[in-house]
Amino acid sequence: MAKRVAIVGAGATGLASIKCCLEEGLKPTCFERSDDLGGLWRFTTKVCSVRKRPDFTATGQWEVVTLCEGKQESAIFDAVMVCTGFFTNPNLPLDSFPGINNFKGQYFHSREYKHPDIFRDKSVLVIGMGNSGTDIAVEASHLAKKVFLSTTGGAWVISRVFDSGYPWDMVFMTRFQNTFRNSLPTPIVNWLIAKRMNSWFNHANYGLIPEDRVQLREPVLNDELPGRIITGKVLIKPRVKEVKENSVVFSNTPKEEPIDIIVFATGYTFAFPFLDETVVKVEDGQASLYKYIFPAHLPKPTLAVIGLIKPLGSLLPTGDTQARWAVRVLKGVIKLPPSSTMIEEVNERKKNKPSGFGLYYCKALETDYITYIDELLTAINAKPNLFSLLLTDPRLALAIFFGPCTPYQFRLTGPGKWEGARNAIMTQWDRTFKATKTRIVQESPSLFASLLKVFSFLALLVAIFLIFL
Ligand SMILES: Cc1cc2nc3c(=O)[nH]c(=O)nc-3n(C[C@H](O)[C@H](O)[C@H](O)COP(=O)(O)OP(=O)(O)OC[C@H]3O[C@@H](n4cnc5c(N)ncnc54)[C@H](O)[C@@H]3O)c2cc1C
Ligand SMILES: NC(=O)c1ccc[n+]([C@@H]2O[C@H](COP(=O)([O-])OP(=O)(O)OC[C@H]3O[C@@H](n4cnc5c(N)ncnc54)[C@H](OP(=O)(O)O)[C@@H]3O)[C@@H](O)[C@H]2O)c1
């Protein structure tokens, strides 16, 4: 009989998990507490608790207790996939803002923000220069009287429109770039990154330069921010020293700035209230999960957490790949190492020791996107084999190595293989620019460019020949 899998949450990772279960012949039931998306579907069904069955050491089974329209139900599952996301509990650090209780204006967390109309003709302070804070400050600046964006650490700001107008992630996130970065010492990589980021605009001149340039913090993606700063619509400020009744004092100056609205874009915390701490314990913003997925200490690997990771890349293909790997484990096709080995690996990762090469990811859960995904793909035989492709399909091999690391690459082989993957890779640039080339123009071919292409191809052949010599 097919194993029954409970999937908690029907966000992006929950949906991917349902698909992966179905592909592997498992029987998923998805519980979603909201009334929006759902799986095999139990809308508005909140999972209240997931507990090990008394015979867990033998069966690995779980008892899942749910609440729907005031009615509690319980069911037994062979496995559980926790897909509840980690941007759910707003982090509102009011204690760090002396005087906030006396503030007579309005304040709220970025999660509650819906529309910029509330900022019309107001003086607005946005606290936190993550992606939420920056997006909100920029939107507010079109209507507000004045907008301040307070940052404690600064950040690199990247334009989505990257080199020669290509989308930034399609240029930055390639296997070639990743291999190149990871083979250089960290200080050199950081220097190159700083040079690259400052080539758009000098971050120091805009008060944005990250204070810590050794450890990489998530960059901010925003095309408009520098334009809003240079036109005086957004004013970058350091940390808030004190909040008064109708104003705020920043740490670099005694001057009070009148403020009507404060937006705390101070991020999120996460927890698994339906799980016992003996199953998954959250400490210092992370949990002891093998490969960021399986609790390392459980005698049976029948509970997987999907999406609890911060790759420098999209979370969606990362969650999808995690689900593909995890269902192979749940099905018993992949065997995990002994608990002691997994615990050792998890503890080693938690120490967060810099390797000395490539980017240095500083915060809990942060990881290198391609390296991590490749690790999982290797375990399910889905990592594209570039050397054999070079012999059998060199055009595809080159597109995979030098082109964007799009998730089609992960579907060329292995479980969940997709026949359309090759064509999708070879046509990805055409499809990307179909959206922008809405006025068709004739480009005259340049003789120099054609010669350069021929020369590059010959150089590549020589390089390949030398490698195999
Ligand atoms: C403002 C914002 C913008 C973002 N933009 C991007 C982006 O551009 N690209 C990107 O890759 N990522 C982005 N992210 C990150 C984004 O959250 C994830 O990529 C994606 O939503 C993760 O999907 P998930 O399924 O893990 O979590 P979620 O989408 O949060 O889904 C979790 C689901 O679990 C349900 N749930 C929780 N607890 C229970 C329970 N006890 N019982 C039943 N159901 C439960 C929730 O209702 C929810 O539907 C953004 C995040 C934020 C906050
Ligand atoms: N357009 C998009 O793609 C988009 C939009 C929104 C969110 N997201 C994603 O959603 C996730 C959450 O983003 P987020 O911006 O909400 O949160 P975040 O990335 O965690 O940023 C929160 C910021 O708040 C500040 N902060 C935190 N604690 C503070 C404290 N005690 N005092 C003062 N400042 C404090 C810090 O900024 P400083 O260091 O600057 O002080 C911190 O970087 C991210 O992964 C993000 O990429 C994406």
For residue 152, the Cα-to-chain-centroid distance in whole angstroms is 22
Pocket of ligand 2 from Cβ distances under 6 Å: 87, 93, 96, 110, 127-133, 135, 151-153, 218, 221, 265-267
Residue 379 domain flag: no
Q: Are residues 209 and 253 in the same domain?
A: yes
Q: What is the mean pLDDT of residues 334-348?
A: 95
For residue 195, the Cα-to-chain-centroid distance in whole angstroms is 24
The answer to whether 244 and 256 are in contact (CB under 8 A) is yes
CATH of the domain at 205: 3.50.50.60
Report how far ligand 1's centroid is from the alpha carbon of 340 (Å).
Answer: 32
Residue 440 domain flag: yes
Question: Given the structure tokens 């529309």, which residue do they identify?
Answer: 115
270 lines ligand 1 (CB under 6 A): no
Q: Are residues 274 and 254 in the same domain?
A: no
Q: What angle do CA 128, 134, 139 make, to 5 degrees?
A: 130
Burial class (CB in 10 A: 0-12, 13-18, 19+), 456: exposed
Rounded to an integer, what distance in angstroms lies between the CA atom of residue 240 and that of residue 148?
11
Chain segment 297-314, per-residue pLDDT in tens: 999 999 999 999 999 889
- At residue 468 the predicted structure's pLDDT band, cuts being 50, 70 and 90, is low
Report how far ligand 1's centroid is from the alpha carbon of 218 (Å).
Answer: 17
Q: For a pocket test of ligand 2, which of 114, 152, 237, 262 has the largest count of ligand atoms closer than 8 A to its C-beta? A: 152
Rounded to an integer, what distance in angstroms lies between the CA atom of residue 119 and that of residue 260?
9
Residue 177 domain flag: no
Chain segment 184-215, per-residue pLDDT in tens: 999 999 999 999 999 999 999 999 999 887 77
Question: Given the structure tokens 């609790």, which residue do they identify?
Answer: 295
Chain segment 116-169, per-residue pLDDT in tens: 999 999 999 999 999 999 999 999 999 999 999 999 999 999 999 998 889 999
49 lines ligand 1 (CB under 6 A): no
Residue 306 domain flag: yes
Mean pLDDT (the chain, rounded): 93
Domain that residue 75 falls in: 4-88+270-370
Q: Higher model confidence: residue 450 or residue 319?
A: 319
Q: For a pocket test of ligand 1, which of 19, 30, 32 has the largest count of ligand atoms closer than 8 A to its C-beta? A: 32
Task: Note the pTM of the prediction, 2 decimals.
Answer: 0.92
Beta-carbon contacts of residue 169 (< 8 Å; ≥ 6 apart): 313, 314, 404
Chain segment 83-120, per-residue pLDDT in tens: 999 888 999 999 999 999 999 999 999 999 999 999 99
Report how far ligand 1's centroid is from the alpha carbon of 341 (Å).
Answer: 31
Question: Given the structure tokens 């069955």, which residue do they identify?
Answer: 53
- Which of 337, 370, 403 represents a domain boundary (last residue)? 370
Nearest ligand, CA of residue 363? 2
